[in-house]
Structure 1
Amino acid sequence: MSVIEGAVDVDVPVRTAYNQWTQFECFPQFMSGVRRVDRPRSSMTHWVTGFGGVSREFDAEITEQRPDDRVEWRTVGTPRLTGSVRFRSLGDTRCRVTLRIGFTPRGAAERAADALGLVRRQVRADLRRFKEYIEGQGRETGQWRGTISGGQVEPDSDRPPPHVPNWPTG
């Protein structure tokens, strides 16, 4: 399994960066390999990706989610991916976003892309684009402040506040 890590310091409060990251449907706006993300349930996402001419669809379960701290996930079935994103405050108006992805390359093209560092470069570029995206807006497009532990949404954390746009249904 290959592991890719990257971090970026963002000039917004940790709450703003975290809130934006929970808006998975916006990922195609700053992640070059992501075509679409749907969130049919609070703890499940459906992804459509493309990299190097190869398209994939898969589901990912959110296994841990703690507001302003972290989101962790793993795919259901193939491809085999795990990941986490952590948020650390660097003061009132700045934070660090650290992304860690583990994956098993499938096929010769994916193994070559991994060996050449192409996947690592894409992940780091996506982090830089996230920084530009959220700093350019200056605020999040929505939020989901629920807590997930062991893939289970904790009681009452799935109830949306009345002001949250784009609330996931299901």
Structure 2
Amino acid sequence: MSVIEGSVDVDVQVRAAYNQWTQFDSFPQFMGGVERVDKPQATLSHWVTRFGGVTREFDAKVVEQRPDEQVSWRSLEEPYHMGFVLFEPLGDTACRVTYRVEFTPQGLVERAGDAFGVVRRQVHSSLRGFKEYIEGQGRETGAWRGTINGGHVQPHAKPEPRPVPHWPTG
């Protein structure tokens, strides 16, 4: 399993960055390799991706979500991956978006892409794309503020405060 982690500082309020991140259908506009994302249920999304000429479709489940703090997911089938994105305020008008993705490359093209750092650069580029997208918009294009604990939805529940770990920028 490979791990990619890092962070990006974004010049919008933490609420705007978090709200935009919950709009999965906007991901193809800033996330390289993502062709389409559908969200048929609050905790379930269907992804169509293209990497190295290989198109893949998979479902992913949000397993934890706390407004303005965290979104965690895991795929339900190959290609297996999981991860989280954390949102940390940096004053009133900026925030840090920290991410960690764990994945198992499938097939020769993906294993080679991972070995040569192509996947890592793609993920880092996608987060920089998110920064440019939300800063360029100046505000979020939508929001979903529900809380998910272990896959169970609790709409608009107040999140419990937790310390937020910080990884160095990669």
User: Structure 1 length as normaliser, TM-score?
Assistant: 0.90
Cα distance in 2, alignment partners of residues 136 and 148 from structure 1: 29
1:86 aligned onto 2:86: yes
User: Is the Cα–Cα contact under 8 Å of residues 58 and 79 in structure 1 kept in the other structure?
Assistant: yes
Secondary structure of 2:48's match?
strand
Tell me the equivalent position of 2:77: 77
Which residue does 2:35 correspond to in 1? 35
Aligned residue type for 2:102:
G
1:5-84 correspondence to structure 2 within 5 Å: 5-84=5-84
SS in structure 1 at match of 2:131: helix
User: Does the CA contact (< 8 Å) of 1:67 and 1:146 recur in 2?
Assistant: yes
- For the residue of structure 1 that corresponds to 2:85, the secondary structure is strand
Structure 1 CA distance, aligned partners of 2:41 and 2:106?
28
Q: What is the DSSP-based 3-state SS (H/G/I as helix, E as strand, rest coil) of the residue aligned with 1:105?
A: coil
Corresponding residue pairs, total: 157
Give the drift of 1:157: 3.4
The aligned amino acid for 2:31 is M
One-letter amino acid of the structure 2 residue matched with residue 93 of structure 1: T
TM-score between the two structures when normalised by the length of structure 2? 0.90
Contact 1:147 1:157 in 2 (8 A): yes
Shift of 1:107: 1.3
The alpha carbon displacement at 1:79 in A equals: 1.2
Write the distance in 1 (CA, Å) between the matches of 2:126 and 2:8: 10
The residue aligned with 2:156 is 157
| Separation of aligned partners in 2, 1:102 and 1:36 | 21
- Partner amino acid for 1:26? S
The separation in 2 between residues aligned to 1:134 and 1:25, in whole angstroms, is: 14
User: 1:40 aligns to what SS in structure 2?
Assistant: coil
Cα offsets for 1:61-117 (capped at 9, x unmatched): 000000000000000121111010000000100000011110001111111100100
Query: How far is the alpha carbon of 1:6 from its aligned partner?
Result: 2.0
The AA in structure 2 aligned to 1:125 is S
Distance across 2 between alignment mates of 1:99 and 1:46:
20
Report Cα offsets for 1:117-163 as digits up to 9, x if no partner.
00000000111111110000100000000000001102x439xxxxx
**Separation in structure 2 between the aligned mates of residue 77 and residue 38 of structure 1, nearest angstrom:** 16
Match of residue 134 from structure 1: 134
Query: In structure 2, what is the Cα distance between the partners aligned to 1:125 and 1:78?
Result: 23
Q: Which runs of 4+ in 1 moved over 6 A?
A: none
**Amino acid paired to 2:138:** G
Q: Secondary structure at the match of 1:79?
A: coil
Report the 3-state secondary structure (helix = DSSP H, G, I; strand = E; otherwise coil) of the residue aligned with 1:121.
helix
